[in-house]
Structure 1
Amino acid sequence: MAQDLSLSYSNSETIINKANFSIDSGSFIFITGASGSGKSTLLKSLYGALKPKQGSLIVGGVELRGVTSAKLNFLRRHVGIVFQDYKLVKEWTIEKNIMLPLIINGYEKGVTQNQVDSLLKHVRLKHQAGKYPLELSGGEQQRVAMARALAHNPILILADEPTGNLDDYSSQLIWNLLEGANEQLKTTVIVVTHNIPRNMNVAYKHFNIEYGSVHEVV
């Protein structure tokens, strides 16, 4: 929930200005807007990478304005993030990249392996488990990033243009995984995108950012 939320980088001009919005648990949300409108900026604020300049922002019961490191780390353990540029660890295998949030969250070795095996099948990359990120195509790397975001069964998934540069096959896989997490696990999904897919199979809400203002499109 945001109340009079304003966001900016250091002393630069305000990017999001006094935004007010609320997102219900278990919702599927699209955030759109022109390039430079503040979509990614807003997404960063939702996992604490950018602190509110003014106003209030509560995510998962955590107030992010003035949040402590301990509370922020607690929140992030329950959030899955899909970046546009993947952010995979290049020195680690695909399998180990997907394991990362499970290791951080202290899952047992057997549970971790079973979860990773299951996710590799879901993203159609079981045969690539021992390879490294730079040995895969962009679409395959994003599918790994998607599997990593889902690995620890997060309560919230944040995705920044998750299919922006992908082939049709990988794009559809990503959307199917996001829809499945939302429908089956009741995970809240928030996606920044330029274009909302026409064939979405879940109910969703749409917020648009224009001139620093965030408003729901109905």
Structure 2
Amino acid sequence: MDNVIIAKDLSLSYSNNETIINKATFSISSGSFVFITGASGSGKSTLLKSLFGALNPKQGSLVVGGVELNGVSRSKLNFLRRHLGIVFQDYKLVKEWSIEKNIMLPLLINGYVKSVALNQVEKLLKHVRLNHQTGKYPFELSGGEQQRVAMARALAHNPILILADEPTGNLDEYSSQLIWNLLEGANNQLKTTVIVVTHHIPKSLNVDYKHFHIEYGSIHEVR
């Protein structure tokens, strides 16, 4: 099985003074479901940011989807991001756009014609159980509903890799379980690689997973 992520001696930092991730070496196989845990401030979100190019490596090599991110060009980074789905804890929906338009964004970026994109959005809204909210704007939805819109957006273009940062951290039990079911389904049915930063690994998840833990700047696999 090919590796979708390969890190070698990877160091990450927001300044020249403090190294948050220190010379980490690891790989993640295509089609894996991976949890990343660690104490608050350990570097979980920092690592996730590096995986979609929001933070450049300080040292070492980081290859995601065949693209080396240390010194990556803007064109190659944009190419990679068109194949990623990203779910943030704070949703990052465009407030001025309807939920349909929010979900449609990655489809239009990837060149889908509008009629096909609209059909896909309709299916996704049913999938995340929000078809009764069509025409609404993010501020009209609950936090759990907004995260389900964000999840639909991440799934819209059938990405090779989904990156989720505490996707259920602020959600009610119903929405949390739905998010986990969607991530599990993407992994089991579509063979999408899923990487989730979380404080708590759910016990109910029906998927084989890997578990990486970050502590004192080091990343190690928990077996």
**Equivalent residue, structure 2, for 1:105:** 110
Residue number among 33, 47, 50 corresponding to 1:45 in the alignment: 50
Matches within 5 A, 1:48-87: 48-87=53-92
What SS does the aligned partner of 1:197 have?
coil
Query: Match of 1:203, as an amino acid?
Result: D
The answer to whether residue 101 in structure 2 is matched with residue 96 in structure 1 is yes
Q: How far, CA to CA, are the matches of 2:85 and 2:115 in structure 1?
A: 21
Amino acid at match of 2:192: T
Unpaired runs of at least 5, structure 1: none
1:10 Cα shift? 2.7
User: Within 2, Cα distance between the matches of 1:106 and 1:122?
Assistant: 22
Write the deviation string for residues 36-79 of structure 1: whole angstroms up to 9, x where unpaired: 00000000000000000000000000000000000000000000
Question: How many angstroms does 1:108 deviate by?
Answer: 1.3
**Identity over the aligned pairs, expressed in percent?**
84
Deviation sequence 1:110-136 (CA, Å, 0-9, x none): 210111011100111011120100110
SS at the partner of 2:28?
coil
Deviation, 1:12, is 3.5
Tell me, in whole angstroms, the C-alpha distance in 1 between the residues paired with 2:115 and 2:187: 26
> What SS class does the counterpart of residue 184 from structure 2 fall into?
helix
Q: Secondary structure at the match of 1:4?
A: strand
Distance 1:134 1:143 in 2: 14
1:14 is aligned, of 11, 19, 23, to 19
Whole-angstrom distance in 2 between the partners of 1:129 and 1:96? 10
Question: What is the match of residue 154 of structure 2?
Answer: 149
* Residue 29 (structure 1) aligned with residue 34 (structure 2): yes
What is the rounded CA distance, in whole Å, between the counterparts of 2:27 and 2:114 in structure 1? 38
Shift of 1:149: 0.3
Partner of 1:128: 133
Q: Which moved more, 1:106-115 or 1:185-194?
A: 106-115
Please provide the CA RMSD for this pair. Answer: 0.6
Q: 1:162 aligns with which of 155, 163, 167?
A: 167
When the two structures are superposed, what TM-score results if normalisation uses the length of structure 2?
0.97
Q: Distance in 2 between matches of 1:11 and 1:53?
A: 9
Q: Which amino acid aligns with 1:198?
A: K
Q: Deviations over 1:89-120 (max 9, x none)?
A: 00000111000100111101221011101110
Distance 1:72 1:164 in 2: 28
Q: Structure 1: how far apart are the matches of 2:208 and 2:116? A: 32
Number of residue pairs aligned between Structure 1 and Structure 2: 218
The answer to whether 1:217 aligns with 2:222 is: yes
1:208 aligns with 2:194: no
* Distance in 2 of aligned mates of 1:198 and 1:12: 39
Q: Residues of 1 paired with 2:120 and 2:191: CA distance?
A: 18
Matched with 2:181 is 176
State the shift of 1:11 in Å.
Answer: 2.2
